[in-house]
């Protein structure tokens, strides 16, 4: 059974939205995705979203009577997991048309869950006591080891936000659009050495939603947008706390999830026209390119610095500007999927010519979980 994304939309606005609660962001994105597909809430019989507010509240708020729910919450990659789980559920006959929602008041914190880790949790016992303050001081911990082992330079790390800003410069919805240089990045405020402010993602409010169904069902319903086909997907996880990654220079979850996704899709790396790699920090696209096998070990820094992922390059990467320049609500994965859908529908702000196959890598937590989707404009 062929699985498609029949509807996809973000909230009307992204960025600073103090007038929107977390739930409002979910529901606005859901209604936008339904409108995008030309469907109503009564066409939906499955709902997936992260634990807070969770699929029960989203289904009830919208007046959906769900036959299937998924509340998988494994960080910012969760929405890629939801797509894969929805595909399996639809193929198993558990439901026919699934709504996946994301909404996060990441900046304004309106109606948002607390981030607190209890002092008896793993992170509370073995990481928080050392003065970790959010991802900036923990997700970044792997980079110096990577730099020592591969020779990646500070300048090459700084090239990542420079390359992505070139894409953001072409995207009116991006939060930061002015072109920047390596010198600008290295002159920006030090957050957690070796990471400067411009090597860290934004913190924003926003949401997005997807409608996943079978190709046959989409055609029977008469959805009104070009269908985006799910060719393959994979998921995996590694350590719940970053200090216990087996190898600080490579993500096992990235490797396993991408291997599964490429195997199911039956496409090779050379078939990929467009790539989205979850970029909470500047080193993530470097790990993603290498761990998914697009470049060899230690080659990603030079690959990005040489412009291959920039506009006009042979492997367009993070073409919305990414979490570093477009938006980053906290669980960014939904926005990576949204940009892949726009590219494959040929409606992106910075459109890649002839984009037919797009790969999306979602990270969850801090190299904690990962999922990969291989999407295409046709089968």
Partner 1 sequence: MSTASRPAASGATPATAAKAAPETTPKAVPRPTPDTRPFWDGAAAGELRVQRCRGCARHFFYPRPACPHCGSGDVEWVTASGRATLHSYVINHRPAPGFADEAPYVIAIVELEEGVRMMSNLVGVPADPEHLPLDLPLRVVFEPRGDVHLPLFTPAEAR
Applying CB under 8 A, does 203 fall inside the site for partner 1? yes
Cα–Cα distances (Å) from 22 to 10, 15, 327, in that order, read: 14, 13, 16
Interface with partner 1, residue 186, by CB under 8 A: no
Q: Which of 4, 83, 87, 138 binds partner 1 (CB under 8 A)?
A: 138
Q: Which of residues 241-260 bind partner 1 (CB under 8 A)?
A: 241-244, 248
Kindly give, in sequence order, each residue whose CB lies less than 8 Å from that of residue 301, ignoring residues fewer than 6 positions away: 150, 152, 153, 156, 157, 159, 286
Classify the C-alpha dihedral 236-242-246-251 as positive or negative.
positive
Q: Does residue 51 belong to the site contacting partner 1 (CB under 8 A)?
A: no
3-state secondary structure (DSSP) of residue 340: helix
For residue 359, what are the β-bridge partners?
275, 374
Q: How many residues does the chain have?
A: 379
The answer to whether 140 contacts partner 1 (rule: CB under 8 A) is yes
* Contact region with partner 1 (CB under 8 A), list: 1-9, 132-140, 259-267, 337-345: 132-140
Cβ closest to partner 1, residue 142 vs residue 214? 142
Please name the helix (run of DSSP H) or strand (run of DSSP E) that holds residue 53, with its range, or none. Answer: none
CB of 107 to partner 1, least distance (A): 7
Binding mask 325-354 for partner 1 (x = CB under 8 A): -----x------------------------
Residue 122 contacts partner 1 per CB under 8 A: yes
User: Residue 204 or residue 358: which is nearer to partner 1 going by CB?
Assistant: 204
Minimum distance from residue 54 beta carbon to partner 1 (Å): 18
The torsion angles phi and psi of 99, rounded to 5 degrees, stand at: -100, 125
Closest CB 158 distance from partner 1, rounded Å: 16
Which residues are within 8 A (CB) of 224 and not within 5 positions of it... i.e. 6 or more apart?
37, 38
- Of 65 and 193, CB closest to partner 1: 193
Q: Of residues 79-118, which lie at the interface with partner 1 (CB under 8 A)?
A: 106-107, 109, 114-118
* Residue 18 binds to partner 1 (criterion: CB under 8 A): no
CB count in 10 Å sphere of residue 372: 30
Rounded CA separation 337/342 (Å): 9
Q: Do the beta carbons of residue 33 and residue 240 sit within 8 Å?
A: no
Contacts with partner 1 by CB under 8 A lie at 106-107, 109, 114-120, 122-138, 140-145, 148, 189-195, 200, 203, 241-244, 248, 330
């Amino acid at each position: 059974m062929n699985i498609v994304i029949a509807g996809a939309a973000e909230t009307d606005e992204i960025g600073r939205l103090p007038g929107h609660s977390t739930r409002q962001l979910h529901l606005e994105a859901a209604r936008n995705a339904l409108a995008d597909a030309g469907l109503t809430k009564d066409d939906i019989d499955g709902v997936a979203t992260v634990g807070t507010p969770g699929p029960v509240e989203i289904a009830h708020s919208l007046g959906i009577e769900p036959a299937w729910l998924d509340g998988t919450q494994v960080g910012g990659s969760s929405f890629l997991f939801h797509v894969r789980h929805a595909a399996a559920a639809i193929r198993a006959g558990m439901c026919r048309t699934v709504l996946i929602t994301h909404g996060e008041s990441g900046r304004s914190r309106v109606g948002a869950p607390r981030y607190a880790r209890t002092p008896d949790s793993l992170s509370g016992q073995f990481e928080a006591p050392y003065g970790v303050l959010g991802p900036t001081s923990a997700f970044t911990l792997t980079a110096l080891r990577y730099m020592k082992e591969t020779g990646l330079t500070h300048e090459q790390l700084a090239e990542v936000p420079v390359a992505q800003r070139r894409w953001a410069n072409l995207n009116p919805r991006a939060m930061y659009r002015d072109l920047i240089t390596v010198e600008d990045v290295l002159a920006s405020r030090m957050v957690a050495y070796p990471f400067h402010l411009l090597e860290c993602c934004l913190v924003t409010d926003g949401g997005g939603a997807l409608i996943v169904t079978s190709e046959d069902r989409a055609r029977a319903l008469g959805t009104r947008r070009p269908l985006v086909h799910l060719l393959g997907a994979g998921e995996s996880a590694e350590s719940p706390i970053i200090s216990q990654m087996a190898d600080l220079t490579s993500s096992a979850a990235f490797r396993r999830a991408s291997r599964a996704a490429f195997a199911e899709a039956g496409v090779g790396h050379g078939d990929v026209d467009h790539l989205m790699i979850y970029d909470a920090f500047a080193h993530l696209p470097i790990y993603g390119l290498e761990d998914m096998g697009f470049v060899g070990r230690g080659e990603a820094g030079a690959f990005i610095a040489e412009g291959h992922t920039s506009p006009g390059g042979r492997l367009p990467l993070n073409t919305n500007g990414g979490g570093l320049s477009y938006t980053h609500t906290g669980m960014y994965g939904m926005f990576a999927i949204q940009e892949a859908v726009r590219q494959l529908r040929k409606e992106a702000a910075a459109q890649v010519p002839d984009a037919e196959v797009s790969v999306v890598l979602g990270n969850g937590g801090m190299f904690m979980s990962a999922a990969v989707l291989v999407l295409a404009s046709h089968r």
